[in-house]
Every structure is written in C-alpha cells, then in structure tokens.
Structure 1
C-alpha cells in the first residue's frame, strides 16, 4: 500500500508510526548521517497576562503540523531542504522557548508559522546555530497551571474533532508538553495521510488530559502492540514515545493522538 498525501515532512514518519500502511523501511539511525542535530523551535507566547495551558498546547500542536503541511515546505518551496533534513533524521526533535512583548514580535520575522498568536513554529535547523532572536529566549519557566477547557467539541460535530490525550502518569511542563503534542499532531496527520485521508484534519486537534481509566486501557493495548496497528485499528490512537532527552525516561508514552 502507498500513501496518497504524505508531505516531505511527514513521509519519513510513516515507516515508524504506521509501517502496515506503507512500503518503506524505517530508518535505523538515531542521528542524521551528517552528525548535525536539528530541531524545530516552538516559541510560546507567555505574556504577563498568561493564556491558558490548553490554548497554548492546542496552538503548539497546530503550529508544528501547519509548518509541515505548508507549501513552502514542499518540493518547490524555500523550506524544503531544511524540513527534509530535519524530518529525515532518526528522531524528530522539537524545543520550546518562551517569549513575550518585543521578543515575541522579533521572532515573527523568522521563517515559520504562527497559530492563535500564541505559538510560532520555526523552520527546523541545527540546534547549535539558531538566530540571535531565538538564542536569547529562555527554555525554562514555561509552566502554566491546569485549566478546565471542557469537552473537546467541534464547531460542526461533537465527534469530528481529533483529540491529543496527555498522560495522567507523566508530569510535564508546558514547554515539554508543547513539544509532545507537536509530535502527536504530526503522527496523527501521518497515519491519516497514509490511509488516504486528509492530514489537515489533525490541525483541529484538541488537547486534553486523559482519565486514568482510559489511559490504563490504552497503555495495555500499546504494550502488546509491536507496530501500533492494533491500537490504531481498535482504539484509533497513535502514541508519542519520548526519546528521553528531557524530563522523562526514554520510551515513555507522553500522549496519544486519537482520530
């Protein structure tokens, strides 16, 4: 089976997250062949009058995927080389930084995509060679208190909105969670596209904390599922397993994306 809508940014993910849907082989390397570590920076707008945690996370999920689906990241676009070099690595990294006022305005001049005036996803590049406007932004201090966003309803249909469910067993700062939901939206879009569905549907993903009951049920399914197919076919979920660089142990499932 072959995909019909996988973009250059999503195609390398398909062999890892939905191998039963594609005819390619997952890359073996954890690092790129050229040895350059690349990451997508997510700049979170955290003004003194801070937005809600849910609003920031939903904007982060949408911004990361929006950049991947942007025509500028396509074969004829100016971002193609940068995005494909990043996406083709064994692990797709994201880093979150916080900004406000003049610093937030400054990063709007750097190539990327802004969603909700809360998060700007920047075109990926080497982690040790970032613009001055980004380097001066802090990575820490991104925590926001939990909020109560209510049911993840769509404006059109209560059942039409995908949801990224955060693990109730893993404590994550907003910065860490932003990176994780960015991974989740990309993974969800990849599986949808590999099935021949519209990957842009994942742009509307809600972000919610999972109940312990649901999480226990999903965790059991994921533990017995070597390639993800059963979890997707039976529960409609695709997991994000963290590489373990910050905050959590390698292999930890931080969230699941649910169609």
Structure 2
C-alpha cells in the first residue's frame, strides 16, 4: 500500500475548472486566477449546492470529505460554448471567464471537459496590478517564492477562496456574499504583510508542480 494512500480519497474526486483563453486578446494570469476563484465560491453558494435539497449538495459534501482537488483546463473557440451546456457556474473577472463544475470522480469527467488541455494554461501577468473591486471582496495572494503555471495558480486561488468561504467569520462572510463574492489577486502588497492579514492559507498536496506542504496561497476579506 502506498504510504500516502487515503481510503477516504479512493477514488479521487476533483472540481473541474475551465478557463476561456482565446487566441485573440487572451486574459492575463491575474484575471484568470480571480475568475477561477470567483467561479468556485459562486458554485459552492449556488442553491443547487448550498442546501440539503440541492441537486449538487451530495456531490459537494462527498468531495469536501476528501481532498479538495481542483483541476484547471483551458478552452477556446467552439470548446467554450460546449462546456457552457454542462451544469456549472460561470464567473467573469477583469475580462477573464471561468466555469466551475460540480465535483465528481476524476475518472468520470464529462468528455467535453476531459478532452480539454490541462497542460499549457500559462498566461502572462497583467502589466500593472489589477485594481481591486469595490469591497467587500476576497483578497488572495500567491507565494512569490513558488513558481506555478496559471492553471496551477488558478486552482490554488480556488482553494484559497473555498477555505475562506468556509472559515471566514459570519459577518465578514455575509458581507462578501452580499457583494457578489468578488475576488482580487493582490500583487501590490508585500508577501509578509499579506501573511499577517491572512485568514486562511493553502498548503498544497504535492500532486503537481510543487512539493507537498508548500504554502501556495493565502486569503482574507477586505471591507
């Protein structure tokens, strides 16, 4: 038996994220991360997921009882409208679009999603830090000492927003929810200051790109 084997994670489950990346005017790394994180928390608070009667509730509960993997893929052209036909939630941030899908077993990913690339989702950073939205919003910072592709970073931002949604104080969470669960990737605040402010921290499972236990992202609510 593998030393890292977890019977509660067999078979492994994941939430699939699809990001729209057209060849003309593609989104920045920062915008993709914000859109992906927004899509995650909007799915988790959607009535279909947030409540025992919701059609996605059992899937979300089963997934959260395991390791909360997220897998980010890219779509362009006809592939983007194809995935819009599947159950999920689409979010837009800073011109980027991302769609989150109800989690499920990794060996049962719908073919419209499974055929999309995981590798190669790596966008350039925004030329200047993107302006924060009107608050309250979730600020997410990525560890500047850890190199990640945009796909990996988007998944980590999704994890950070997810943890923040579940662990933030009731009043702060309520204000964030009422403001549309907006997300901002903080690049203009020194990392050590971000760590001091953070409510949650993501430590990676080590399945892709970074060693297990690496702190990849942190998050807190502003406003």
TM-score range, shorter chain: 0.7 to 0.9
> Which string of whole-angstrom CA distances, capped at 9 and with x for unpartnered residues, describes residues 75-95 of structure 1?
111111111111111x20000
- Give me the CA root mean square deviation: 2.3
Deviation (angstroms), 1:97:
0.9
Deviation (angstroms), 1:53:
1.7
Kindly tell me the number of residue pairs found equivalent between the two proteins. 211
2:122 counterpart SS class: coil
> Which string of whole-angstrom CA distances, capped at 9 and with x for unpartnered residues, describes residues 216-248 of structure 1?
4666xxxxxxxxxxx6xxx34321111110000
Cα pair 1:165 1:210 within 8 Å, conserved: no
- Which residue of the other structure, out of 106, 114, 117, is the alignment partner of 1:138? 117
Cα pair 1:162 1:258 within 8 Å, conserved: yes
C-alpha separation in 2, matches of 1:94 and 1:210:
26
- Which residue of the other structure, out of 175, 187, 190, is the alignment partner of 2:151? 175
Task: Name 1:80's counterpart in structure 2.
Answer: 57
Cα pair 1:185 1:202 within 8 Å, conserved: no
**If the length of structure 2 is used for normalisation, what is the TM-score?**
0.85
C-alpha separation in 1, matches of 2:9 and 2:186:
38
Report the more deviating stretch, 96-105 or 146-155. 146-155
C-alpha separation in 1, matches of 2:205 and 2:21:
26
Task: Name 2:19's counterpart in structure 1.
Answer: 44
User: Is 1:70 paired with 2:49?
Assistant: no
List 4+ stretches of structure 1 deviating above 6 A.
none
> Which string of whole-angstrom CA distances, capped at 9 and with x for unpartnered residues, describes residues 195-235 of structure 1?
77415268212013365xx324666xxxxxxxxxxx6xxx3
Task: Name 1:13's counterpart in structure 2.
Answer: none
C-alpha separation in 2, matches of 1:154 and 1:119:
18
User: Is 1:206 paired with 2:184?
Assistant: yes
Task: Name 2:132's counterpart in structure 1.
Answer: 153
Whose radius of gyration is greater, 1 or 2? 1
Give the direction of change, closer, same or farther, for the CA distance of 1:34–1:191 in structure 2 (3 Å limit): closer
> Which string of whole-angstrom CA distances, capped at 9 and with x for unpartnered residues, describes residues 91-143 of structure 1?
20000111111111111111110111610101111001111111111111101
Unpaired runs of 5+ in structure 2?
none
C-alpha separation in 1, matches of 2:35 and 2:10:
31
Unpaired runs of 5+ in structure 1?
1-28, 220-230
C-alpha separation in 2, matches of 1:209 and 1:53:
12
Task: Name 1:101's counterpart in structure 2.
Answer: 77
Higher strand share: 2
Task: Name 1:119's counterpart in structure 2.
Answer: 98
